[in-house]
Structure formats: structure tokens, C-alpha cells
Chain A
Amino acid sequence: MAKEFEPNIIGFLCNWCSYAGADLAGTSRMKYPPNIKSIRVMCSGRVDPVFVLEALRKGADGVLIGGCHPGDCHYQSGNYKANRRMKLLKKLLEELAIDPGRLRFEYISASEGAKFASVATEFVDQLKKIGPNPLKEVKK
């Protein structure tokens, strides 16, 4: 039997909300697919579009960016700015024929372990439908 495609997801999670949210999902023993590799950043506003592109080129099938809810940012406005940036990046990815569904920006607070688990599940399902990333550099 052919192995089912398992997407590789890089998650950039904000230290104050989403990372703690992911932590909560883990400590509460919620079930979510293990496809997400989390990278902790101090703020979702730290995520440069270069990071997203680099992740996609290095073989990630999807990139998840988790930030605090609007108004909750530890640094006042980082999540709003990240939101603007990612929205633009999505449009640009679409123009260059990369499925914008590979990039996802979510607001996940520290108390929303359940939301993190459901977002992860949903995102993996979505990426399974989209299929492997065509940008992936050919590996030897």
C-alpha cells in the first residue's frame, strides 16, 4: 500500500500566546497530528516573509503563524502588523502560483489549547488535499 502523504508544517508561534497554547494542548493531552514543527518566536511580528519563503523552499508543505488575539499582543501591535504582512504575502504567493492555503495566520491565545489542536488538525487535512509542495528543492 502506498504511504499516505504526510505534510510537513513549520509553525512560528508567538512566545506569549500561541506557544503557550500549544503547550497547553500538550499538557492537557489533547490529540493533534504530529506534523507541526514549532519554532518559538518572541512575537508574530518577528516573522519576516523571508522566513516563510525559506521554509517553503526548504521543504515545508505549509507554514502556520500563531499570534495573540487582536489587542492582546505583548508588544501592543505586533500581531496586527504580522496580519497585514501575511495577508499581502498570501496575495503575492497566489500571483506566483503557490497555493495561498499553504500559509495560515491564526490568533491562538495561551488558554486555547483546544483551538491549537483543532487548527493543527484542520491545517493538516487541508494540506493533504492540496498535496506536496512543488517548490521543494530536489533532494539528492
Chain B
Amino acid sequence: MVDEKTLRDAVKKTVGRKDVKYVVGYDKGTTGFQAAPTFAYEEKDAEKFVFNPTCVNNLAVYPMLEDKPPLRKGEEPDTRKIGIVLKGCDSRAIVQIIQEKGLKREDVVIIGIPCTGVIDPKKLKVKFPGQHKSVEVKYDNDKFAVTVDGKTQKFSKDELMPEKCKECEYPTPIIHDILIGKEIKGVKKPDYKEIEGFEKKSLDDKWKNWEKEFDKCIRCYACRQACPMCYCKECMVEILDPQWVRRSVNLSENTAWNLLRAFHLAGRCISCGECERSCPMDIPLMKLNKKITKDIHEMFDYKAGVDAEAKPLLAMFKPDDPEEFIL
């Protein structure tokens, strides 16, 4: 249970620093079951900051989304830091970005929140269809207390948590400057049973499954926008010459996009589940990411977003990498 007063004080202190531009955090949402990302530029803005189970977004995208227009003559670059409120899983994104040298550690001030799990807005939407007004969700010991129209209902955590929270390894942010509350030890392990089950299926069955999923894709690229690791200045789908992926929305192009997206995240995906959450067509994108995460763990004994000093997986090698054939 995160004490919101401590959080606000921390935000106030951070935004008050001379070398901090702004702080990104969560505000009470305006609609449905989601908190909205918000910015604090002054100390008084800190009052709106909250933390509750509806704070699902991964705010690690914000420092990478920031526009950096070219400087005018004689203008000094703005080197001030950005403050971010981060959950455990989100902090791995920042670690991975630092590892890839997208950011420097001193570019960000991290307000870490030890998180006991958030809700999956899609799961709540099923339980309360047609709910558009903002809903209050609170932690209640081992349960989530959801208040709709003045009535409070309690749900067990397993019922409402997304898959990623059920197997969360790092509830406490790996790197942080300020920690709100006490550290929580991660005890859960990722569960690859479903992935292994799918691996055993025949190629035909696999394709039938993915065909159904990719056929739904409308190529809105919400998965890319929400992903903290997709921060290329120019995405390969927008390159016109050579045009790797055509713009038409059909099964062939959709498959190409989803395959390439998954591959570009190989060894970088930190399993925050943002792609799947933001997907308007409910494509189980995390299944693909998780499959790669599993293979990487098995083949190269590597985990993304844990060690900022390590080298990125595909930029290094070991002489004893697994081989399929004898030389």
C-alpha cells in the first residue's frame, strides 16, 4: 500500500530541484478503469499525483517520446533531468534503455514504487460493461476494492491482475533515487507452461491460431507507441525505400509487421505488457514476446533490463553460443 502523501512529498521535492524539468506520474483517470499520466512542472502540481491499482501505464516511454527540436543559433541545450514515477516492471525499461545508451542514468530521477500488482483494465471492463465514468479502485489487503456508483465490491487479485503481475519477478524498481515505502522481495517466477504447450502444436495448428489473431490487426501501431523500447527515430515500417512493410492492412503485411516487431524486441522486451494492454483488437502480443524471452533465457542465459552495465544481447556474443551442428 503506497502512501500517497509520501509520494506527493517526493514529487514536490523532486520538481523543486533546479536541475529537474518536470516529473511524470499518475493522475486520477477521467474515464473507466485507468489512471492518466500527468506532469508536474511546479510544486503545486504534485497535489494531483496518485498511486492505486489503476496506474497501469508504463511511464518509461515519456523520456524517449520527448521532442528535441534543433537548437537555434546560440541556444544552449536543455540538459535538465526528467523525474518519473516507476513501478518495478517499468524500471526495467529504463535499465534497458540505459544499457542501450538511449539515456544516461543521470538524465532521469526515478521515484520508485514497490508495487504489489495492478489491475488489467480489460478484465474489469468485462465485469462492468458500459462503465464510462471514472471508477475508484483501491488496495484492500490481498484484494482489490472496486467502487462503482457508490457500491464497493471486492475482487481477489488473481481475478483482476494481468498475467505479468502474476509472475512478477521485480516488484521493487531495480534502480531508483527515491523509494516510496518498503522494498518488496520478488518471489514469483515466470511461468512458461502455456508457451511450451503451444510449442508442441503442429505448424498447421500454430498458423491457424496466429492467422486468426493477425487477421484482426488494424495496424494502428498502438503497440509500438506504448512500448518503452520502441524509440527509434524512424521506425522500419515507415521507411519507404526500401519499403519492408507495405501499408495495406492484410494478413501478409500484418504478419510481417508483428513478426518484425517481435524480433526488434528480442533481447530487449522487459515484459511490461504495454503492447498487449494498448492493443485495441486484443491480440495476445505478449505471447510472442514471452516465447522469445524464454528462448533467450534458455539459449543465451540472458535477461533484459536487469543490468545496466551488461551488453545488449544481439550486440555481443560468447564463443560457446549453442550450435546446431558440428563444425
Contact = CB atoms under 8 A, between A and B. Distances in A.
Interface of A: 49-50, 53-54, 57, 69-70, 77, 80-81, 83-85, 87-89, 91-99, 107, 135, 137
Nearest to A137: B252
A89 B263 contact: yes
Q: What are the nearest 6 A-B pairs in CB distance?
A: A97-B207, A80-B317, A97-B206, A97-B203, A91-B295, A50-B244
B155 interface: no
A81 B260 contact: no
Nearest to A54: B244
Nearest to A88: B266
Contacts of A54: 242, 244
A135 B207 CA distance: 11
A83 B244 CA distance: 22
A80 B322 CA distance: 11
A70 B319 contact: yes
Interface of B: 198-199, 203-204, 206-207, 210, 236, 242, 244, 252, 255-256, 259-260, 262-263, 266-267, 288, 291-292, 295-296, 299-300, 313-317, 319, 321-324, 327
Given A57-B252, A92-B263, A95-B198, 10 more contacts: A50-B236, A81-B314, A83-B321, A83-B323, A84-B317, A91-B295, A95-B288, A97-B206, A97-B207, A107-B327
B256 A88 contact: no
Taking each of B198, B262, B263, B266, which has the highest tally of chain A beta carbons within 10 Å of its own beta carbon? B263
Given A88-B266, A92-B259, A97-B204, A135 B315 contact: no
Given A50-B244, A81-B317, A83-B321, A95 B291 contact: yes
A87 B299 contact: yes
A49 B263 CA distance: 8
A77 B273 CA distance: 33
Contact of A88 (B207, B292, B316, B327): B292
Given A57-B256, A91-B291, A135-B252, A77 B317 contact: yes
Contacts of A91: 291-292, 295
Taking each of A49, A84, A98, which has the highest tally of chain B beta carbons within 10 Å of its own beta carbon? A84
A49 B203 CA distance: 21
Contacts of A84: 300, 313-314, 317, 321
Contact of A96 (B255, B299, B314): B255
Given A49-B260, A81-B317, A87-B299, A92 B322 contact: no
Contacts of A93: 259
A54 B292 CA distance: 21
A88 B288 CA distance: 12
A125 B299 CA distance: 29
A136 to B, nearest CB: 10
A92 B321 contact: no
A92 B34 CA distance: 33
Given A50-B244, A81-B314, A84-B317, A70 B327 contact: yes
29 contacts: A49-B263, A53-B256, A53-B260, A54-B244, A57-B252, A69-B327, A77-B317, A80-B319, A80-B321, A81-B316, A81-B317, A87-B321, A88-B296, A88-B314, A89-B263, A91-B291, A92-B263, A92-B291, A92-B292, A93-B259, A94-B199, A95-B198, A95-B206, A96-B210, A96-B259, A97-B203, A97-B204, A107-B327, A135-B252
